[in-house]
Structure formats: C-alpha cells, structure tokens
Structure 1
Amino acid sequence: MTSHNELRLLPWSGPDGKPCFLSTDDTGGYLSRLADRTESAQLDVGAELLEHAVGVLANDDSDQEELRLLATDLKDALRNALRVAASRSHRLPAAARGGDEGPRLPAAAFC
C-alpha cells in the first residue's frame, strides 16, 4: 500500500455544499469503495445524459422547459465529472501528474 499523504476528494458534498475529503491509505476500506462506486455511477449517469442530450438537441420540437431541464442536468453531470477527474488526478503518482520525475520529451517530438 502506497501512502500519498493527501486527502481524497470524495464525490459528494457536505450538507453545507462544501467538499468532503477522506484521509486514509486504505484504498479498499468501506468509504473508499463507496466513493469508487459513487464515482462510477456518476460517470455512467453523465454518459447516459449525454446520449439523451443528443436526441433532445436533434429534435426541433424540444421546448424551452425541456432544454432548461437538460442544461441543468448537464451542469450537474459536468460538475460531478470534474470532481471525479480532480479526485483521481490527485491520487496519481507525481510522475503521472506531470511532476518532476520521469523523462520529458521536447515539444518537437509531438509534431
């Protein structure tokens, strides 16, 4: 088990809307597993919502109320996806996050 000495951003907010964090090195603990399942469910909902959005936006008969609801749901899904991405990026080793460890390629290597 590798210690990252960082708090894990959880995929839900507290009652006051502030972020919740978990301090543990046990990635197999109950709260860690619950957070993993919640993140997965949030991303699945976002993918389903994206498919729904494609249909709604392709339909010329979609009314303003339907579009407003879709925009609200997409906003929530995007917020969740960004929180998942932030949480997961903080749990990557420093080299994978672009830290000072590991080889670097010059910009010309990507042309």
Structure 2
Amino acid sequence: MSTPDIPRLLPWTGQDGKPCYLLTDRDDSPLSRRAGQVEALQLRMAAGLLEHARVLIDDPAVDARQLRFLSAQLSTALQDVLRVAQSRGARSADDDVPSDLGF
C-alpha cells in the first residue's frame, strides 16, 4: 500500500471544529465508505432543505423567527456542501474547485 498524495477531507469536523482528514490510498476502506455515505446524506439533506426554503419564502404568513431559523439551517447545509465540494475537488484534482473555501 502506497502513501496517498492528497489526504481526503472528511465531511465532519473534530470536536474543536477543525477539519478531519483521512490518509489512505484505498477508496474502499471502511472509513472512506462511511465518509461517502455521510457526504451523500448531507447533499440529500441540503436539497430537501432548499425545497423547504422555497416554500417558506413564498409563504406571506412566515414570520421573521421562522426565516432566521431557516437561514441558520441553510448556512449549516451550505457549509456541509462546500466541504463535500472541496473534498471531491481535491480527490479529482479539479483545478476549478478552490482548495480553501474559507471555512
């Protein structure tokens, strides 16, 4: 087994909020598979939240408290999606994805 060139950014952070990385040259390791499952879940949740946001934004009865809560949830989902994009971009060696997305 050789040493990987680029560590994989995992879709979660450590207790102190710092990024977690996986150093492996195997995409089929248990932790790699789990990270892929978490990424897929995060992307599905973000898509669902976006649909919910569209409904709330179009509802004139929605109050400021509900919109603040929605914006907090959208912010969290966006952070997750950006982490997935950064991780996948680094693994595909795609230069179009910035290596530091500022979170």
Common fold, TM-score beyond 0.5?
yes
The question of 1:7 aligning with 2:7 is answered yes
Query: How far apart, in 2, do the equivalents of 1:29 and 1:21 lie?
Result: 14
Q: Aligned Cα RMSD in Å?
A: 1.9
The question of 1:38 aligning with 2:38 is answered yes
Query: How far apart, in 2, do the equivalents of 1:51 and 1:3 lie?
Result: 41
Gaps of 5+ in 2: 97-103
Identity %: 45
The superposition leaves residues 80-111 of structure 1 with CA deviations (integer Å, 9 ceiling, x where unpaired) of: 0000000000001x4xx249xxxxxxxxxxxx
Query: How far apart, in 2, do the equivalents of 1:98 and 1:13 lie?
Result: 24
Bigger Cα Rg: 1
**1:8-87 superposed matches below 5 A:** 8-87=8-87
Tell me which stretches of 4 or more aligned residues in structure 1 moved more than 4 Å: 1-4
The number of equivalent residue pairs is 96
TM-score with structure 1 length normalisation?
0.81
TM-score with structure 2 length normalisation?
0.87
